[in-house]
Amino acid sequence: MELKQVKDLMIPLDKYPHIPYWFTLRQAMVELEKSELDVNGKKSLPRILLIFDEKYQLLGLTRRRDIMRGLEPQFLAHKPVEAKKQLYDIKIDPNLVEMSYDTLMESIKERAERPVSDVMLPIAATLDYNDHLIKAIYEMVDNNISLIPVIKDDKIVGVLRSVEVFHEIATFVIS
């Protein structure tokens, strides 16, 4: 059995969720919530959105956790994780019980109107449509990423996810 090329395992762009950079976090959430991929007869939920400009040039991507981080109330945005944990620890401060759940939820709704470009990440790597799967493995591991845009003739034509790469490698190793 020979390992496949990127083009054999990629998800075509028209089947993968993507949005313009001016969409809000709320709109990005809607897109993720309604998206479902059918990959080789298996249903899968996307975890990442691609983000494009007006000329359909790829600008970046955003993951679910980037969106959630973007929804954090402003007063938490630049605090280290340990400080954030303490803010909600009633053992440290019994007065935290009085922190209004409604106020926090309203803050999240307000923050959801920010543009997705505020939490967008740059593209760490791309693959060529004809690249071998070994290059995809290298790029995913070297860049600590689970999704790579696929380029053909200087245009993005799809994405390759680590789940499909892993499945292909597992099939090769196990057989």
Write out pLDDT tens, residues 19-47.
999 999 999 999 999 999 998 888 989 99
Say if residues 20 and 49 touch (Cβ distance below 8 Å): no
Q: Do 11 and 62 fall into the same domain?
A: yes
Question: Do both 128 and 168 map to the same domain?
Answer: yes
pLDDT at 1: 65
CA-CA distance, 37 to 160, in Å (whole number)?
Answer: 13
Residues 6+ apart with CB under 8 A from 47: 32, 63, 64, 146, 147
Whose CA is closest to 164, among 139, 128, 127, 137?
137
Calculate the alpha carbon distances from 134 to 129, 153, 162, 169 in Å. Answer: 13, 21, 12, 10
3-class secondary-structure state, position 101? helix
Q: Please give the pLDDT value at position 77.
A: 63
**Pair (11, 30) in one structural domain:** yes
Which range marks the domain in which residue 103 is found? 72-111
- 58 and 130 together in one domain: yes
CATH value at residue 155: 3.10.580.10
| 123 & 43 share domain | yes
Point out the residues of the chain with pLDDT beneath 50. Answer: none
- pLDDT reported for residue 5: 94
Q: Is residue 95 part of a domain?
A: yes
Dihedral class, residue 144 (left if φ above 0, else alpha if ψ from -120 to 50, else beta): left
Question: 137: which 2 tokens?
Answer: 């493995």
In the prediction, which pLDDT does 85 show?
59
Residue 96 and residue 57 in one domain: no
